[in-house]
C-alpha cells in the first residue's frame, strides 16, 4: 500500500485518538517501510532461524484459528547475534511472509533525532501499528535504549523505556487489534537488555556468523553477473579461508576482489580519456576474476567480529536463546 492509503486509514482510526497528528505523520513518513520484496528464500543460510520464525510467527498468521491458547504466537521476538549477518533483512522478510506493514526504527534515533519526544513517538508508533495491523515493529539497536535500568540513568531514557514496556504489555493482551502486532528487536549486545524487556521478547533467535554452506551460497550470490574464472576447488578454498567472516565482511571482501581487474585497466587509460573510451576499455579489457585476486584481498579485508564477542553471544544463546524441539 502507498502512504496515501495508510494516511486515510489512520485518519479514520479510533486508535489515533489522543495522538498528535504531527507525530503519527512523522511515523508514517519516516518509520513505515513500503514495498517489501524480500522473502525467506531470498536470504542465504540462517535455516535454523528461518524455521523458528516460520513456525512461531508466520504459520499462526496463516491459520489463526488453530494457533490459540498454548500454541498462540509470541508478541515479541528478539534477533541477536554479531553485526552484519542479516537481522534487518530477516525482519523485513518476516513482515513480507506475514503480509504485514513494516515499521522500522532505530532505538538510538529515538534518543537523538527525536530528543524529548521519544516517549510520545513510541506511543504514536504503537497506535499506528494497531491501526494498520497486521504489522511488524522493528526496533534496531534496541540495546541503545532498553538497557538494564539504573538509578543514574537519564530521565528521558527512563520514560521512553517505561513507555515501551507499557505499550508492549498492550500488544501482549488478547485484544484482536493487538494480537496482530509483532514487535521485533535486534541487538548485538543482548546481555545489556533489561530483564523486563527480555520478558517481552518471548522468542529469542540467534543469528550467527554464516557457516561453510552459507558462505558458499553467499559467494555465489555476490558473484552473479561478474566475469569470473573460478573452479569449484577455488570456491572450496575461499569458503575455508573466510571462516569467521560475517555476511557483511564477505560483501566487503568480494567488492574489493572484483575491483582488482578493473584497476589494472584503469591505470592504462590516458588522463582525460572520455566516457566512451573508458566504457570501451571496461567492456573489452577487464579480465575475469581469479583465485589470485581473492588471495590478495584476503590480506586486506579481515573479519570484523572478535572471538570474545562471539563467545559472549554463544554463552548468552545457551542460557536465554530459543530453539526448535523435534
Superfamily of domain 3-209+312-320: P-loop containing nucleotide triphosphate hydrolases (3.40.50.300)
Query: Could you state, in order of their start, the residue ranges of all structural domains in the chain?
Result: 3-209+312-320, 212-301
Residue among 112, 180, 99, 179 nearest 141 (CA): 112
Residue 152 binned pLDDT confidence (cut-offs 50, 70, 90): low
- Region of poorest pLDDT, from 83-92, 256-265, 266-275, 295-304: 266-275
List the single range of 58-72, 155-169, 219-233 with lowest mean pLDDT. 155-169
Fold (CATH) for 212-301: Helicase, Ruva Protein; domain 3 (1.10.8)
Cell (9 digits) for 68: 490459540
- Those residues with Cβ within 8 angstroms of residue 140's Cβ, 6 or more apart along the chain or in another chain: 87, 88, 104, 105, 106, 107, 186
Whole-prediction pTM: 0.88
pLDDT recorded at residue 115: 61
Q: What is the pLDDT of residue 160?
A: 82
Asked if pLDDT for residue 105 goes beyond 90, the answer is: no
Please tell me whether the peptide bond between 7 and the residue prior to it is cis, using omega within 30 degrees of 0: no
Q: For residues 28 and 171, give the distance between their C-alpha atoms in angstroms, rounded to a whole number.
A: 20
Q: Is the pLDDT of residue 1 over 80?
A: no
At residue 309 the predicted structure's pLDDT band, cuts being 50, 70 and 90, is very high
The burial class, CB within 10 Å (0-12 / 13-18 / 19+), for 158 is middle
Amino acid at each position: 500500500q502507498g502512504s496515501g492509503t495508510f494516511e486515510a486509514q489512520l485518519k479514520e482510526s479510533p486508535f489515533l485518538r489522543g495522538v498528535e497528528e504531527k507525530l503519527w505523520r512523522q511515523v508514517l513518513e519516516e518509520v513505515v517501510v513500503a514495498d517489501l520484496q524480500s522473502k525467506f528464500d531470498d536470504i542465504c543460510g540462517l535455516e535454523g532461524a528461518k524455521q523458528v520464525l516460520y513456525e512461531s510467527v508466520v504459520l499462526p498468521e496463516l491459520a489463526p484459528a488453530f494457533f490459540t491458547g498454548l500454541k498462540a504466537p509470541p508478541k515479541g521476538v528478539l534477533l541477536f547475534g554479531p553485526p552484519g549477518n542479516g537481522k534487518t533483512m530477516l525482519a523485513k522478510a518476516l513482515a513480507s511472509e506475514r503480509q504485514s506493514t513494516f515499521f522500522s526504527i532505530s532505538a538510538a534515533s529515538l534518543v537523538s533525532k527525536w530528543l524529548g519526544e521519544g516517549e510520545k513517538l513510541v506511543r504514536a508508533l504503537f497506535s499506528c501499528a494497531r491501526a494498520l495491523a497486521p504489522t511488524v515493529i522493528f526496533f534496531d539497536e534496541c540495546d541503545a535504549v532498553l538497557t538494564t535500568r539504573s538509578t543514574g540513568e537519564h530521565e528521558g531514557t527512563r520514560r521512553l523505556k517505561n513507555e515501551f514496556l507499557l505499550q508492549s504489555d498492550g500488544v501482549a493482551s488478547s485484544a484482536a487489534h493487538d494480537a496482530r502486532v509483532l514487535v521485533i528487536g535486534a541487538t548485538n549486545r543482548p546481555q545489556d537488555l533489561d530483564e523486563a524487556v527480555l520478558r517481552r521478547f518471548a522468542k529469542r533467535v540467534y543469528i550467527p556468523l554464516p557457516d561453510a554452506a552459507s558462505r558458499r551460497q553467499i559467494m555465489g550470490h555476490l558473484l552473479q553477473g561478474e566475469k569470473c574464472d573460478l573452479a569449484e576447488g577455488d570456491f572450496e578454498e575461499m569458503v575455508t579461508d573466510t571462516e569467521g567472516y560475517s555476511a557483511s565482511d564477505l560483501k566487503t571482501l568480494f567488492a574489493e576482489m572484483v575491483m582488482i581487474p578493473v584497476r589494472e585497466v584503469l591505470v592504462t587509460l590516458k588522463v582525460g580519456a572520455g566516457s566512451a573510451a573508458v566504457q570501451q576499455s571496461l567492456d573489452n579489457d577487464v579480465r575475469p576474476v581469479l583465485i589470485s585476486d581473492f588471495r590478495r584481498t584476503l590480506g586486506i579485508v579481515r573479519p570484523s567480529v572478535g572471538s570474545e564477542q562471539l563467545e559472549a553471544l554463544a554463552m548468552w544463546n545457551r542460557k536465554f536463546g530459543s530453539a526448535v524441539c523435534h
